[in-house]
Amino acid sequence: MSIAIGDTVPDIPLLVTGGKTLRFSDYRGRPIVLYFYPKASTPGCTQEGKDFAAAIHKFRRQSCVILGASRDSLKRQENFKAKYAFPFDLISDEDEVLCKTFDVIKLKNLYGKKVLGIERSTFLIDAEGVLRKEWRKVKVKGHVDAVLETVKSLNKGEVNSPS
């Protein structure tokens, strides 16, 4: 099952750092930025996490929750979060349920070999749990600023589902 803009996000269990299991409904009333990254502690993923961390107060002023997700184990996610002091939870999606829901697993070329991996992607879910915006094939530089501007627009009622 894959989700599209305007769909309500399924309330699937999320294994997050701290060993908690949460659901999207636990965040109702606040927008969520859910970003997927290929692998913890790699250069691009580390930079993206640092960029979100650097802007966390701006997102919090918008009542927005940041969640990072990858197929890494919970232990690896815990280490990644601790090493860089990320002020938001990371999701361990080893069973790929979340990845498949958001259709982020793509065939990639890694050193000449075709492998299935996470395509760097970000999703904005509104306070009612509806997917409002997606960014695919994300380039890290400048991405967090673009997401923040969209969150601000959403909070002003300027981002709507397609008619």
Instruction: Report yes or no: 118 and 37 within 8 Å, Cβ to Cβ.
Output: yes
Which DSSP category does 130 fall into? B
Counting Cβ atoms within 10 Å, is residue 5 exposed (0-12), middle (13-18) or buried (19+)?
middle
Sign of the alpha-carbon dihedral angle for 144, 49, 157, 125: positive
CA–CA distance, 45 with 63 (Å, rounded to integer) = 24
Tokens representing 112 are 């000449």
CA–CA distance, 52 with 35 (Å, rounded to integer) = 10
Residue of 33, 45, 124, 151 with catalytic role: 45
Which residues 6+ apart lie within 8 Å of 112 measured at CB?
Answer: none
Known active-site residue 45 = yes
The catalytic site residues sit at 45
